[in-house]
């Protein structure tokens, strides 16, 4: 079993880099999390009552602890003159500034790219928006909004029933693209000595995901059908309901896999049937073939089928819920899960498992070096680093300029 990496041995390629983020919800914080996981010092500037995701319930309860590990927290009231000055001094100390507010929202505080780059031309400024500049740029975007208008909900749901994907796919990927842009800009800065603005947007992210289906239409003239109703290129590529109502995904996507499938499950008659000899033959016979397979597999257990397919090297997958992944033996053995302490609410301090960034560097997973921060946990440390003395910091706190 591979031991989980420790903060002392895992690579930190961005160590020494300072990132200041003015972000909320998922998209912007994801960008900051990626840079933080890679070793950067990431400072999260929050409103004086804390970022709103700290208080979300239901499906939003995991947002803050998931996307804000390895960061420091400072509370600043940008609406106050001294607060905006604190934020500008923080930004002036940064290599990268990240934000995900509406277009123009930070101009009045002097925290837009034009204002900050005039002071520091080495600054890399990552803006996360709903839309890149253009006719839609002032619309309010959410992940669900761009999934609906960008074709993803159409492709995910059944015909006539558009359905958003089951996670914040565009928010998360928009943050990833922002981080990729920042890394590219950092390399360019190493050559030219100058920073630049990077923009990432939910809508364009979603359209990028739809590119394969757009090209499918351009090349074939055929409208792509929603995934549940698509013309499947493989006959055996489906979810089967088996004993006790359990479900399992099974597949055989080549002629060789079909023969192995029949041998492993004891179906010599299907293997010998000339009407099922090639993949295209099986696709043409798919409705009847699936009906036959469903009948024959109904008495098998999901565990039995999984064991058969594992031995035979065939594609399969149990149908699992998110909570099942907390006990996944592969994730546990490879260090894919790590403990974090909840920073807020009645469970503050309780340890739970979180997922790590899904890469290795030099064979190591990138660990949790800093717990998701308690609100304002680093305010004094950061202000002192900017040159404020203890009396000034106390005064700011008394007047709620900072928290």
Same domain, 351 and 299: no
Residue 222 belongs to some domain of the structure: no
Residue 254, classified by CB atoms within 10 Å of its CB into exposed (0-12), middle (13-18) or buried (19+), is exposed
The pLDDT value given to residue 231:
82
The answer to the question of residue 215 being in a domain is: no
Element (H, E) at 215: helix 211-220
Same domain, yes or no: 74 and 179: yes
403 lies in some domain: no
Same structural domain for residues 305 and 340? no
pLDDT on residue 7: 53
Q: Which residue among 271, 295, 322 closes a domain?
A: 322
Q: Please choose, from the candidates 335, 239, 340, the residue with its C-alpha nearest in 3D space to the C-alpha of residue 294.
A: 239
Residue burial 144-163, b: 16+ Cβ < 10 Å; e: rest: ebbbbbbbbbbbbbeeeebb
CA 186 to chain centre: 22
328 found inside a domain: no
Whether 120 maps to a domain, the answer reads yes
Domain span at residue 289 reads 232-322
Three-state DSSP at 164 gives coil
What pLDDT is stored for residue 5 in this prediction?
44
d(C-alpha 98, C-alpha 200), whole Å:
11
Task: Say if residue 116 is in the same domain as residue 156.
Answer: yes
201 forms beta bridges with 129
Residue 4: per-residue pLDDT: 47
Tokens coding 77: 């009231």
**Rounded distance, CA 43 to CA 89, Å?**
13
Instruction: Say if 388 falls within a structural domain.
Output: yes
| Pairing mode of beta strands 124-129, 41-46 | unpaired
* Domain count for the chain: 2
- As a whole number of angstroms, the distance between CA 182 and CA 178 comes to 6
Do 309 and 352 lie in one domain? The reply is: no
| E-state strands within 178-283 | 197-201, 236-241, 247-252
**What is d(CA 111, CA 362) in angstroms, rounded to the nearest whole number?**
37
If asked whether residues 140 and 81 sit together in one domain, one would say yes
Q: Which residues contact 233 (CB under 8 A, 6 or more apart)?
A: 279, 283
CA separation for the pair 403, 389 (Å, rounded): 16
In a shared domain, residues 297 and 340: no
- Can you give the pLDDT of all 403 residues of the chain as single tens digits? 344 445 567 999 999 999 999 999 999 999 999 999 999 999 999 999 999 999 999 999 999 999 999 999 999 999 999 999 999 999 999 999 999 999 999 999 999 999 999 999 999 999 999 999 999 999 999 999 999 999 999 999 999 999 999 999 999 999 999 999 999 999 999 999 999 999 999 999 999 999 999 999 999 999 999 999 988 889 999 999 999 999 999 999 999 999 999 999 999 999 999 999 999 999 999 999 999 999 999 999 999 999 999 999 999 999 999 999 999 999 999 999 999 999 999 999 999 999 999 999 999 999 999 999 999 999 999 999 999 999 999 999 999 999 9
| 33 and 142, same domain (yes or no) | yes
Q: Is residue 150 part of a domain?
A: yes
Tell me, yes or no, whether 139 and 269 share the same domain: no
165 and 27 both lie in a single domain: yes
pTM given for the model:
0.94
Hey, what are 108's tokens?
A: 């009045």
Residues 120 and 175 in one domain: yes
CATH number at residue 271: 3.30.1540.10
Q: State which of 290, 322, 354 marks the end of a domain.
A: 322
Which residue in the block uniquely carries the two structure tokens 């008394």? 398
247 φ/ψ angles, rounded to the nearest 5 degrees: -125, 150
Domain stop point among 322, 344, 375: 322
Q: Strand, coil or helix: what is 45?
A: strand
Separation CA 331–CA 2 (nearest Å): 10
Residues belonging to the chain: 403
Whether 226 maps to a domain, the answer reads no
Report the CATH number that the domain containing residue 157 is assigned in CATH: 3.40.50.10540
Output the CA torsion 319→322→326→328 (10° steps). 20
Considering the domain architecture, whether residues 280 and 194 belong to the same structural domain is answered as no
State how far the Cα of 331 lies from the Cα of 325, in Å rounded to an integer.
8
Lookup result for tokens 């490879």: 334
């Amino acid at each position: 079993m591979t031991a989980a990496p420790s903060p002392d041995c895992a690579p930190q390629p961005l160590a020494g880099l300072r990132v200041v983020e003015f972000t909320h919800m998922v998209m912007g914080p994801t960008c900051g999390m990626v840079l933080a996981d890679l070793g950067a010092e990431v400072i999260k500037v929050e409103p004086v009552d804390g970022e709103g995701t700290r208080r979300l319930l239901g499906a939003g309860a995991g947002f803050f602890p998931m996307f804000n590990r390895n960061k420091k927290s400072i509370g600043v009231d940008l609406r106050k003159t001294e607060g905006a000055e604190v934020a500008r001094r923080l930004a002036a100390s940064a290599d990268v500034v990240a934000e995900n507010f509406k277009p123009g929202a930070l101009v009045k505080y002097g925290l837009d790219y034009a204002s900050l780059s005039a002071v520091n031309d080495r600054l890399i400024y990552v803006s996360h928006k709903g839309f890149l500049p253009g006719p839609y740029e002032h619309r309010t975007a959410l992940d669900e909004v761009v999934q609906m208008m960008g074709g993803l909900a159409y492709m995910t749901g059944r015909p006539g029933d558009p359905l958003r994907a089951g996670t914040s796919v565009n928010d998360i990927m928009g943050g990833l693209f922002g981080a990729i842009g920042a890394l590219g800009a950092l390399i360019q800065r190493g050559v030219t000595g100058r920073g630049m603005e990077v923009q990432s947007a939910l809508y364009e992210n979603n359209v990028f995901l739809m590119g394969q289906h757009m090209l499918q239409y351009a090349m074939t003239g055929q409208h792509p059908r929603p995934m549940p109703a698509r013309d499947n290129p493989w006959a055996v590529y489906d979810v089967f309901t088996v004993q006790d109502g359990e479900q399992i995904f099974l597949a055989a996507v080549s002629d060789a896999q079909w023969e192995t499938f029949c041998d492993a499950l004891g179906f010599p008659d299907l293997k010998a049937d000339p009407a099922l000899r090639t993949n295209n033959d099986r696709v043409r016979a798919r409705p009847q073939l699936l009906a036959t397979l469903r009948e024959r597999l109904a008495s098998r257990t999901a565990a039995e089928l999984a064991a058969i397919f594992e031995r035979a090297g065939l594609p399969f997958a149990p149908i699992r819920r998110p909570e099942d992944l907390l006990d996944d033996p592969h994730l546990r053995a490879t260090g894919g899960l790590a403990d974090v302490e909840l920073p807020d609410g009645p469970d503050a301090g309780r340890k739970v498992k979180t997922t790590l960034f899904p890469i290795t560097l030099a064979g190591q997973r990138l660990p949790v070096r800093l717990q998701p921060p308690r609100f304002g946990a680093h305010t004094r440390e950061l202000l002192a680093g900017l040159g404020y003395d203890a009396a000034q910091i106390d005064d700011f706190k008394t007047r709620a300029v900072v928290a």
